[in-house]
Amino acid sequence: MAPTDETGQAAQQSSASGTTPPARAPVGGAGANGRMPRWLPRAMVLALTLVAVFQLGSWAFHQLTNLLINILIAFFLALAIEPAVSWMASRGMRRGLATFVVFIGVVIVSAGFVTLLGSVLADQIIKLIEGFPDYLDSVINWINTHFRTDLKRVDIQEGVLRSDWLRNYVQNSATGVLDVSAQVIGGLFQLLTIALFSFYFAADGPRLRRAICSVLPPARQAEVLRAWEIAVNKTGGYIYSRGLMALISGVAHFVLLQILDVPYAPVLAVWVGLVSQFIPTIGTYLAGALPMLIAFTVDPWYALWVLVFVVIYQQFENYVLQPKLTSKTVDIHPAVAFGSVIAGTALLGAVGALIAIPAIATLQAFLGAYVKRYDVTDDPRVHGHRRRGEEPGLLTRARGVWTRRPGAERPGHGSSGESSS
């Protein structure tokens, strides 16, 4: 009751003096009645909704990453076959039939090459397995001769068969058969997905362009069509340059394999040309491994010669052949091409390395129309030269540094000192 009495007394005193006591501020910033602001619940619901939408979008993007990459590959494949399909369509053939004919041709060539290469590889593996005891005997004899040991092939075979690592390897291989089968089935499904999307993109290219242009104003429609045309030209130029380099590489390796009398030289040359050009990053190593293996079955020194030739030709291709062809067909600087491949590999792996150059070439050509260019001034420094008379030469600067050394006599000072003395 004491606080109530004090409050009443304070109210009476304030009323007696004619003033009103100041009202206390509401606790927690609430309204006059101590309620929550009306905007706060809606703000909390909006923030939670945005967070949920972001999490859902991130989850969906990660789930659909493989599908998006397949669609991207299919789009570039459709751009690559667009010139052939358009040429057939301009001759009166229906666009869907023209696309089907191109796809059938690509499938027949690829299947024939894989079948022929598989038979050659299987034949060489059988020969290698049949001749493995002779190779092992020659290695054992060389070791016994040079190191004065008494090794026998029977003892080595028994030791290998009874070793723990062979038992573990067999068990791991047995358990990994299912994983390999799943990867093969997944790879076939991925190829089927890419083929279907490529067919639809190529066959319904005009309809797709009309659908995109229908939601854009006329000025934007012209830009989209021009960008599409640039992408087709640059992708076709990239495929052309790669095919030309594959032809040159195949001919060069065929000459080497023919000189060394390595069997199946034409097939191996085609293998080296295609794999080294159209499989990025590891294509060079895969392309050179098979000829080395088959050359080893003929003579181990032949395998070394093939390795040396592959390394030398790869340097010639990287620093001489590829920059010239790429600059003419794709029209980008070699340093830009190299950097784009590295960036594409970092972003999308092997797929990014394969489509990086045509993508950068398309972007460069499209943006070139919006970059205003000026005439370059006729200055020697533009060409990497200095103006004459601006800076002293190397000999003059060296002479100036020498004369500024402590204790060094300057020209003319010694003679004046002698005359004064």
pLDDT digits (tens, 9 = 90+) for 235-275: 777 777 888 888 888 899 989 999 988 888 888 888 888 88
Give me the pLDDT at residue 54, please.
94
Binned at pLDDT 50, 70 and 90, residue 28 comes out as: very low
Give me the pLDDT at residue 421, please.
39
Q: What is the mean pLDDT of residues 301-325?
A: 84
Position 167 pLDDT exceeds 80: no
* Mean pLDDT taken over the chain: 76
Count of beta carbons in the 10 Å neighbourhood of residue 155: 11
More confident residue, 1 or 277: 277
- Reduce the DSSP state of residue 32 to 3 states and report it: coil
Comparing 15-29, 253-267, 273-287, 371-385, the range with the smallest average pLDDT is 15-29
Binned at pLDDT 50, 70 and 90, residue 392 comes out as: low
Place of tokens 């191109």: 102
Q: Which of 308, 315, 247, 309 is nearest to 278 (CA)?
A: 247
- Reduce the DSSP state of residue 282 to 3 states and report it: coil
Give me the pLDDT at residue 33, please.
60
Comparing 13-27, 37-51, 206-220, 345-359, the range with the smallest average pLDDT is 13-27
Please report the DSSP string for 78-111 in residue order.
HHHHHHHHHHHHHTT--HHHHHHHHHHHHHHHHH
Residues 6 or more apart in contact with residue 307 via CB below 8 angstroms: 288, 292
**How far apart, in Å, are the Cα atoms of 134 and each of 122, 139, 140, 190?**
20, 9, 10, 43
Q: Which of 317, 309, 366 is nearest to 338 (CA)?
A: 317
Comparing 75-79, 143-147, 249-253, 392-396, the range with the smallest average pLDDT is 392-396
Binned at pLDDT 50, 70 and 90, residue 300 comes out as: confident
Give me the pLDDT at residue 59, please.
92
Residue 37: left (phi > 0), alpha (psi -120 to 50), or beta?
beta
Give me the pLDDT at residue 419, please.
44
More confident residue, 15 or 106: 106
Please report the DSSP string for 230-275 in residue order.
HHHHHHHHHHHHHHHHHHHHHHHHHHHHHHTT-TTHHHHHHHHHHH
Interaxial angle between packed helices 218-259 and 65-90, expressed in degrees from 0 to 180 and rounded to the nearest 10: 90
More confident residue, 152 or 58: 58
Position 79 pLDDT exceeds 50: yes
Give me the pLDDT at residue 50, please.
94
More confident residue, 33 or 319: 319
For the chain, give the percent of residues with pLDDT over 70: 73
Give me the pLDDT at residue 395, please.
61
